[in-house]
Chain A
Amino acid sequence: MNLRRMWAVVLKELRQLRRDRITLAMIVAVPVVQLVLFGYAINLNLRGLDAGIADEANTAGSRALVMDMLATGVVAPTVAARSPQELVDLLRRGRINVGIAIPADFERRKAAGGEAVQVLVDGSDTSVQAAAAQLAQMPLTRVVGVGEAPLASTPAARPISVLALYNPERRSAVNIVPGLIGVILTMTLVLFTAVAIVRERERGNMELLIATPLSRSELMVGKVLPYVAIGFVQTSVILLLGVWLFAVPIRGSLLDVYIAAGLLILANLTLGLLISTRARSQFQAMQMTFFLFLPSILLSGFMFPYAGMPRLAQWIAELLPLTHFLRLVRGIMLRGASLAELWIDALVLVAFTIVLMAAAIVRFHKRLD
């Protein structure tokens, strides 16, 4: 490996990038736009959710509770149902977002201090779930009146239980932002590297380059290095905005976050290189990137919790760098874990990079045939 030759490739790549306004804009604009869109969509305080109410008790107390819930403005009554089963049915058909089920023995349960009311939520929508959690905070005591001594003296631990259907895990904006680092790095970097090489092949630059003493590794490493820097810039943008706009905590060490990001960046870049050795045109490179991007978004645990997925989907998820990065970054940022504690996922990312890089170098021939 001749450093002067490799550095020449890095320098050339940076010069070209500096002049490529669209790519340059994408580097910063994609993280900002995504973060703001994802972040605020999740953070939005929902009001006026369609609610179905099945009041089987129909007592003064139960009616007062329903009125109280409606008074918060979070839910608006849409359907009066006869049974909890009907609520589930309505939820499934998408007629309502929230179902409030009050059992016939409401008064007795309330007196016993057990679960008296169930709020059924369409958990596939995380923001709805968050809103429903608010409803559950409502104290039953106030509903029945402060003056009633027996109830006040025996406050129920959790009188209203929330049952989230279709989504076993609770997520929030705090959960989204660290994941977004991974999603954005995956989305932009794989594509950038793949296209950067395929473009040179399309324009004929590659035919010239392979007729020179420039070696495969000098060319590949030289092409990838500038994008490593870009990946770190994007990571910083997301972290800054995440902390500033959404007060996302960084409970672990910031250095660990950057190391984890670095591992994902390398894995993604080598993936891009590998794609570039197969793709015949920039369009094909884009198609292949998309083919990879969709499972990354859907299966990595960014949108749907890993634990809730079928076995096959979990196996596929294990093959995606994003899955491992999400475990790392959520662990570090949200649970305050150290990278050393999460070494398995870090190791997987390293292994991923080595295997892919080797495959890319083997597949990239200094030949036209």
Chain B
Amino acid sequence: MNEAPIAISARGLSRRFGALVAVDRIDLAVPRRHVYGFLGPNGSGKSTTIRMLCGLLTPSEGSIEVLGLAIPAQAEALRRRIGYMTQKFSLFDDLTVRENLEFMAAVQALPRLAARRRIDTLVEEYAFADRQRQFAGTLSGGQKQRLALACAVLHEPELLFLDEPTSAVDPQSRRDFWDKLFELADRGTTLLVSTHYMDEAERCHRIAILDRGALVADGTPAELTARLAGRTLLVVSSDPRRAQQAILGEDGVVSVAQIGNSLRVLTAAAGDEALQCVRAALERRGQQARVEAVPASLEDVFVATTQRGAEPARRAS
């Protein structure tokens, strides 16, 4: 089959709903066999973008190519080759686990015998052996997501779209779920996953950060954090609340977040300039505190790029 290194590419992708611009001129390139993360706050256009990429929504502008097919024109041909897991659980609550799998297998037109074997395998693999006769509606959040994933991969798609698959799932189930995603990537599947969890984004091969419909950052987690080198400081103080008041609102300070007894500060400038700016602000208010540079995390990247109306953040991306 088509083994182009790029599974999804989009150029100038926009979508408007009336006056609202949900997605604003996005350029995307998702390499094959990657777990590609979409990180963004609620309403940033993640779901709309995913829906356009799998041909469920027509873009207002821009072009999309997925697995070598022009979308939405060739969406019907694409549907056999992709799996899509919706944000909301969308299997049938009043069918059992097994019935849901059987239905989806038939919908994908898997031959009966092959379907039965595939379902047996998945039931084992996704730990539903003793729950095959349970109604899907009575499963826990984590189990539902596992079942949805099993249904999405029944026909062994080349490309999987997952829209916030773990938003209603406990931490242990989330970790198990992500292990499954990496297994799939290992076997050659390309995955596009949207999330608003930092730890999940950190595990992706590449991530794109969306904010108010625009793509504000795109790269590997390491690349993105490297861009913030020297701009993240840790302020350790005996009175973190006061220290925070001293720094907050200072020119050149983008954000301050309290973490236990210390403050995590993101500055506009980098290196010594940033250190001096923060130290000066603390001294002026008579605050005793230790200020040191720390490596940037993905959360810093997220704050820096999605900060509303923060000019420095915009420049950083």
Contacts and interface: CB of A to CB of B under 8 A. Distances in A.
Interface of A: 2, 4-5, 7-9, 11-12, 15-16, 19-20, 203-205, 207-214, 366-369
B92 to A, nearest CB: 6
The A contact surface, by secondary structure, is: helix
A205 B95 CA distance: 12
B144 to A, nearest CB: 12
17 contacts: A11-B103, A12-B92, A12-B95, A12-B99, A15-B94, A16-B94, A20-B94, A209-B107, A211-B54, A212-B107, A213-B76, A213-B80, A367-B56, A367-B58, A368-B57, A369-B57, A369-B58
A213 B80 CA distance: 6
Given A5-B106, A12-B103, A212-B107, A207 B56 contact: yes
A208 B102 CA distance: 15
Given A7-B106, A9-B107, 4 more contacts: A5-B106, A20-B94, A204-B86, A208-B91
Contact of B90 (A2, A11, A205, A367): A205
B90 A208 contact: yes
A286 to B, nearest CB: 20
Q: Say which size band chain B's interface belongs to.
A: 20 to 34
Contact of A4 (B88, B89, B106): B106
Contacts of B86: 204, 207-208, 211
A11 B84 CA distance: 23
Contacts of A16: 92, 94-95
Contacts of B58: 367, 369
Contacts of A9: 107
B82 interface: yes
B131 interface: no
B99 A15 contact: yes
A279 B158 CA distance: 35
B84 A5 contact: no
A213 B90 contact: no
Q: Which of A366, A367, A369 has the most CB of B within 10 A?
A: A369
Nearest to B103: A12
B54 A213 contact: no
Contacts of B89: 204
Interface string B89-115: 111111100010011101111001000
Given A12-B103, A212-B108, A19 B94 contact: yes
Interface string B42-79: 00000000010011111000000000000010011001
B183 to A, nearest CB: 22
Contacts of B112: 4
Contacts of B91: 205, 208
A203 B92 CA distance: 9
Contacts of A20: 94
Nearest to A214: B107
Contacts of A208: 84, 86, 90-91
B90 A204 contact: yes
A211 B94 CA distance: 21
B141 to A, nearest CB: 15
A5 B79 CA distance: 14
Contact of A15 (B56, B72, B80, B95): B95
A211 B109 contact: no
Question: Looking at A203, A204, A205, A212, which has the most chain B CB atoms within 10 Å of its CB?
Answer: A212
A16 B79 CA distance: 25
Nearest to B84: A211
Given A12-B103, A213-B107, A214-B107, A203 B57 contact: no
A338 B94 CA distance: 44
Contacts of A211: 54-56, 79, 82, 84, 86
